[in-house]
Amino acid sequence: MSSHKNETRKARLDMGSPFLYTGAAAGTNSSGLYDDFGLQGIKGGDSQGTYLITGTSGSNGVIYNGPIDHAMTTSGSGSGTWTVMNVPSGFNASSSSIYGVDNLGGGNVDLVGSYVSATADSDGQFPRIGFYYNGPITDRPRAENYLSYQGQDPVTGQLATFTYIHSISGGLAVGNYDFLGDGNPAGNAFIYNPASSNPQTAVDYGGDGKTHTAYGIWFNGGSSYTIAGGEGLNGSGDGRIGDPLSKGTLIDYDSVTGAFRNYRSYSFTKTEDLPKAMQRQAVVTHFEGIWTNGKGTYKLPATIATADGELTAAALATVKRNKDGSFGKARWTLFDLPAAPITTNDSVFGDANVGVAIYGENGIASNYAGLIV
């Protein structure tokens, strides 16, 4: 469960930035800027060099199907196709966000995300509810293709105020849920199985009392899955150089036996490789997703942040399995985006990445899609 200092390299991205949806009902501000937008997930498309990218534009969930290139159409960035996919009206949703996608082939996908209920609960809150979708990519999805889910306290059955389903692979999804006043995202990491009458399984990190997140899941084959996320150290760091406040995490799950194993945490502590403004501060490390080549090598999109959260850097951790099946050390890659002092890496598929870059003194946020070159 230890973390390690490891070799670090820098990578350049062939980046489309901004990479966003600009069609009907796109999220804009009073000046007409497309600033109410976010890219959250990426998987491979049906043909070589194409991708499925999911996100949020204003109050709409959106999905892009096509290559990552520098073209622009009336619907947005890239030469592919953008589709608005909102939770149907029968779910009483005031907004939709699509976080994760799994390509089933032939235009069919599994999608996960969340929506905000238009009806307040007994506490006067408008709960955020997780959803699962199975079906074709279409701007008129059918209600019967959706399932909604609110996380529950396993003892009391209390429904969560916030439920986020972040990622899906091989029929299982992962996310986090929180209750009013618990804060976000320092909540409860869980596995969601849409095919089960008891769909929620707590991710067992070993009962160490730390807070955990589950942001990415990958189906390895058979009954094997790997889950990526993070652990909070409850403020145990004192702000010294390299003293982490949170770490990225990996853990394996067997869907047949229910066993969790091979838990390991990782911290980016080579502060001399970070931008100068970040080098003298404690850092936060979090894995935002997961991808594997199927041969024991995993890529984990990571965000490295200062303790106050004011500065971030986009990173990628590459981890290989040891011969005994455990996870080895991490090789770190920092993205070289010199004009953007604040960056994130939110999802990865092979050499393709999506995230956020903030430019200029006015802090203009730009979502990017890029290929490591």
Domains of the chain: 27-287 (2.130.10)
| The predicted structure's pLDDT at residue 272 | 83
Digits of tens for pLDDT over the chain (373 positions)?
Answer: 444 445 788 888 888 888 999 998 898 776 667 777 899 999 999 999 999 999 999 999 999 999 999 999 999 999 999 999 999 999 999 999 999 999 999 999 999 999 999 999 888 889 999 999 999 999 999 999 999 999 999 999 999 999 999 999 999 999 999 887 654 445 799 999 999 999 999 999 986 667 889 999 999 999 999 999 999 875 444 444 445 678 999 999 999 999 999 999 999 988 888 888 888 787 899 999 999 999 999 999 999 998 877 888 999 999 999 999 999 999 999 988 766 667 899 999 999 999 988 876 565 678 899 999 8
Angle among Cα 9, 348, 276 to the nearest 5 degrees reads 35
Q: What are phi and psi of 260, to 5 degrees?
A: -110, 140
Nearest to 214 by CA among 254, 165, 247: 165
Nearest to 332 by CA among 12, 3, 7: 7
Relative to beta strand 108-117, strand 72-73 is: unpaired
DSSP 3-state of 361 = coil
Q: Quick check: 359 and 370 in contact, CB under 8 A?
A: no
Nearest to 350 by CA among 297, 286, 277, 273: 297
Q: Which residues pair with 291 in a beta bridge?
A: 299
Nearest to 289 by CA among 108, 54, 14: 54
Q: DSSP labels for 94-144?
A: EEEEEEEEEEEETTEEEEEEEEEESS--TTS---EEEEEEEEE--SS--GG
C-alpha span between 75 and 53 (Å, rounded): 14
| The predicted structure's pLDDT at residue 243 | 54
Q: Which residues pair with 247 in a beta bridge?
A: 231
Q: Quick check: 230 and 215 in contact, CB under 8 A?
A: yes
Relative to beta strand 188-192, strand 172-178 is: antiparallel
| The predicted structure's pLDDT at residue 244 | 62
C-alpha span between 2 and 6 (Å, rounded): 13
Nearest to 371 by CA among 12, 2, 1: 12
Contacts of 88 (CB under 8 A, 6+ apart): 141, 142, 143, 146
Please tell me the pTM assigned to this model.
0.93
